[in-house]
A and B are shown apart, each in its own frame.
Chain A
Amino acid sequence: AQSVTQLGSHVSVSEGALVLLRCNYSSSVPPYLFWYVQYPNQGLQLLLKYTTGATLVKGINGFEAEFKKSETSFHLTKPSAHMSDAAEYFCAVSGGSGGSNYKLTFGKGTLLTVNP
């Protein structure tokens, strides 16, 4: 069984400030972890993923995330927020190679607003 907890349903930052979106997971098998972004009335766009190997993963639009097994976390960061980063962000976990059909379990999402 897998689950994802995103701490903070709403995060507000100023333009140029650090973005930190928190994600903790639980998984009975080594996880695959993902961050997706969703703009209003649109589908999900993959920001980055962790499967195996390097625990610090870089994604699109300047985002990165670090897999910390000891903390069961996969927090998303960006050094400097841009107005265009305002969107809903979802953390997701899959059971990796041991997961059934590679189904994704999503967190409840974090709405990021960026203030000018």
Chain B
Amino acid sequence: GAVVSQHPSRVICKSGTSVKIECRSLDFQATTMFWYRQFPKQSLMLMATSNEGSKATYEQGVEKDKFLINHASLTLSTLTVTSAHPEDSSFYICSARDRTGAPLPLHFGNGTRLTVT
């Protein structure tokens, strides 16, 4: 089955630093990837939609300068949390849409637990 690899699974960083999270589709090409944020015991909130070779589309209320998304290839999208603050601590999950197969369902990574101290 389609596999999405997300790295790192856990990261702790100091306030003011930047953190990069990678999302890779291992056995399929993903023209579209989605980045979600999940607060403890809450649902997933879509942050942005990333299309290969073009700028990401951010959801309302998401700061594009803070959450930088790059989708440079059909198998890799990255989310960079810039100048991280404790309130950015959360669980970030990516998902990908198979370019050649059915558009749904989306395939999800295992998530990244970000803790900002």
A interface residues (Cβ-Cβ under 8 A, vs B): 32, 34, 36, 41-46, 49, 51, 90, 94, 101-109, 111
Chain B neighbourhood of A51, CB < 8 A: 102, 104
What 8 pairs across the A-B complex have the smallest Cβ distances? A43-B108, A43-B110, A44-B108, A108-B43, A106-B43, A102-B103, A43-B111, A106-B44
The chain A residue sitting closest to B102, CB to CB, is: A51
Chain B neighbourhood of A42, CB < 8 A: 110-111
The distance in angstroms between the C-alpha atoms of A91 and B46, with both chains bound, is 15
B interface residues (Cβ-Cβ under 8 A, vs A): 4, 6, 9, 32, 34, 41-44, 46, 49, 57, 91, 93, 95, 97, 102-106, 108-111, 113
Q: Enumerate 14 A-B pairs (CB-CB under 8 Å) in ascending A order.
A: A36-B108, A41-B91, A42-B110, A43-B108, A43-B110, A51-B102, A101-B32, A101-B49, A101-B97, A102-B104, A104-B95, A106-B43, A108-B42, A109-B42
The chain A residue sitting closest to B46, CB to CB, is: A103
The distance in angstroms between the C-alpha atoms of A108 and B108, with both chains bound, is 17
Cross-chain contact B49 with A103 (CB below 8 angstroms): yes
Q: A104-B95, A109-B43 are in contact. List 19 more A-B contacts (CB 8 A).
A: A34-B104, A41-B9, A41-B113, A43-B6, A44-B93, A44-B108, A45-B108, A46-B105, A51-B102, A90-B43, A101-B49, A102-B97, A102-B104, A103-B34, A103-B49, A104-B34, A106-B44, A107-B43, A108-B43
The chain B residue sitting closest to A32, CB to CB, is: B104
Cross-chain contact A90 with B111 (CB below 8 angstroms): no
The chain A residue sitting closest to B113, CB to CB, is: A41
In this complex, the member of B41, B42, B104 whose beta carbon has the largest number of chain A beta carbons within 10 angstroms is B104
Chain A neighbourhood of B91, CB < 8 A: 41
Chain A neighbourhood of B113, CB < 8 A: 41
Chain A neighbourhood of B110, CB < 8 A: 42-43
In this complex, the member of A34, A44, A102, A103 whose beta carbon has the largest number of chain B beta carbons within 10 angstroms is A44
